[in-house]
Structure 1
């Protein structure tokens, strides 16, 4: 079979060797066509064909020899395979059994070693944990002892400091109380003296009205009255200096508003520390406290009356911010003071407006909610919950910013209300009430006077006005409880 294959392959090779030169020869002959070249090529082809045939014969002989050798080798292998197959199978089975048994032995040894190692690790961990716990317990005990010692020292120091603070505060309060009593006594004396001088001044003005030198006498009396006012201011400033020299503790001992003053205190000028206790954004200020009328506890924030010399309210923003006038006469307490008092939310304030016309008729208006915002928001007015017999003329100005002749913050589009009425107020567009109007009356100032449109009527002049505030009783009792 193998020899036949090789024989056919040799023939194919021989045909290829014969046909290749013939193809080349035919191609070249087609191009050249000389007879001599063709004879030469044929001769060479015959020689090559003879050598190829001889080589092919040699190859066939060698292939036949190799085929015989392969047949002999196949027979030998098949015999040996039949003899050794059983032995190999038995050997393989015995080897597998030995491997399995050895694997089992090794697995058992590994498990034993793992259990031993695990036991050792557990023992080591338990030992270390015990050591760490003992150290932590000892450190905790030491720290607890130190903390207890520090706490006892702090408690004793706090008790000692508290006692010292109470002692110093008691002394300061006693000293401030004595100074305030002296101030109030002097103020009452000066106030009564001023009243006497005013009445005397009026009498002398009436008596000397027909004399040609009445103007000089009036000027002399007016200068005396101014001198008394300057003495009163000097005395008040001296008392303020004494109060300020007491330090921060004296400021915290001052009342927050007039409702914090002791019971049965007389009405008059008092020093107040505005804002939350212990947090004061400005120094203590003076305020007139009405502690006797309308239930008492009122801080007066504005007063208009026919008190000579009459006080002009045609002023700019700076004066309306800080306040102007005298507490015993006509005055405006100041927008910043109103904000500092009513701004904190722990107390809600009410406003009472007392009105009196030139015939002695009196009315009042009470608003259960009153608050003034800060300067950044234009000292905006927040008001509500009206009761009273004067009619609600102020609600029209709710949520309005404060305007002055030199600062326009009203809601009128074409009118500068502060400039038109020549005073400061919470104008909208423009007014339903104006308690800072002018006292003088003529055709030009008819619409610039102090008015409350609901009583007695629109543009009706009201010569006497008083605005005062106090915390409502519910919030005051809650604050005291806290």
Structure 2
């Protein structure tokens, strides 16, 4: 009997020890679980906080894009007096376009689409480069046919051409209507309503597509105008102007005629101009 009591006491003692160990282990597990939950809650709170920051940033970006000027004319209307390079958001452009704005000349609000004045930028490119644009807004550049389409293709726009010869004589050509179609239209140019001092050397190519030396979209049946004149441009029955032509100085040899940067009604096709600028802006309808 005593042996049984001893056995029972020993068993109870071991059972209590085991229960105590299990209780301690259970408490440890509970503490670990609580710590894990606390860590997860902290991580969750941090994640929610980051999401809120991203949402706020996205709201600001959307608001900024919504408030972005659609054109250099709107830049002028908002009375910016910061440097003339701006981001604008034309209505149908997927992304903002960085442009050089002229805010003072002839009423201001012009966006440069071509700027040449020292010959530092090569203009001898094919269609892909002319689509995308090239050069630097702080120097010589071509804005790009796609960008020009977004600036002019969806509302009535006007064009300003400024030219300077090597004697410093400046002239201009202003067109009341200027539009460049999409790539599917061959970047078809519509231009009319000339006035100015340079003479009209562009209306002759009204309703012409943009051709390059590898893509002939002119209507001249004998050969490619772009190959003949060595430059990409809006050709019809060839041309009376070529502001993307070679940058030379003044009168040129016979073999360079019609291949240079020229405007036929100002100094002729044998004279390479010193400066050429093309600028566009949305037209304000007038009753006169």
TM-score normalized by structure 1?
A: 0.45
- Structure 2 unaligned blocks of 5 or more: 1-55
Are 1:338 and 2:152 counterparts? no
Aligned match for 2:116, one of 304, 322, 326: 304
Query: Matches of residues 139-288 of structure 1 in structure 2 within 5 Å?
Result: 247-261=61-75, 262-275=78-91, 280-288=92-100
SS in 2 for 1:327: coil
Shift of 1:324: 0.5
Pick the structure with more strand per residue: 2
Q: Determine the structure 2 residue equivalent to 1:313.
A: 123
CA distance in 2, matches of 1:454, 1:245: 52
Q: Secondary structure at the match of 2:258?
A: helix
Asked which structure has the greater CA Rg, the reply is 1
2:88–2:97 Cα contact (<8 Å) kept: yes
5+ residue gaps, structure 1: 1-170, 173-243, 476-482
**Over the residues paired in the alignment, what is the CA RMSD in angstroms?**
2.2
State the 1:247 CA deviation.
Answer: 3.6
The CA distance in 2 between the partners of 1:473 and 1:447, in whole Å, is 35
Q: Which runs of 4+ in 1 moved over 4 A?
A: none
**Residues 251 and 304 (structure 1 numbering): CA distance in 2 closer, same or farther, change over 3 Å?**
same
Give the number of aligned pairs. Answer: 227
Does the 8 Å contact 2:135/2:141 carry over to 1? yes
1:264 deviates by 4.8
Deviation at 1:245, TM superposition (A): 9.8
Secondary structure at 1:294 match in 2: helix
Q: Deviation digits for residues 148-197 of structure 1, max 9, x if unmatched?
A: xxxxxxxxxxxxxxxxxxxxxxx98xxxxxxxxxxxxxxxxxxxxxxxxx
Partner residue of 2:256? 445
Q: Distance in 2 between matches of 1:451 and 1:281?
A: 32
Residues 355-410 of structure 1, C-alpha deviations (whole Å, 9 max, x = no match): 10000001100000111111111000001111111111100110000001221111
Q: Distance in 2 between matches of 1:360 and 1:434?
A: 20
The structure carrying a bigger helix percent of its residues is: 1
Contact 2:182 2:188 in 1 (8 A): yes
Which of 237, 241, 254 is the matching residue for 1:429?
237
| CA drift at 1:474 | 2.4
What is the CA-CA distance between 1:246 and the residue it aligns to? 5.0
* 1:399 equivalent in structure 2: 207
Q: What's the CA shift string for 1:411-469, capped at 9, x where partnerless?
A: 11122111222221001121111111101366443431011111122332212001001
Alignment-derived partner of residue 5 in structure 2: none
Cα distance in 2 for residues equivalent to 1:458 and 1:326: 27
TM-score by length of 2: 0.73
- Out of 291, 294, 305, which is 2:103 matched to? 291
Higher relative contact order (CA 8 A, sep 6+): 2
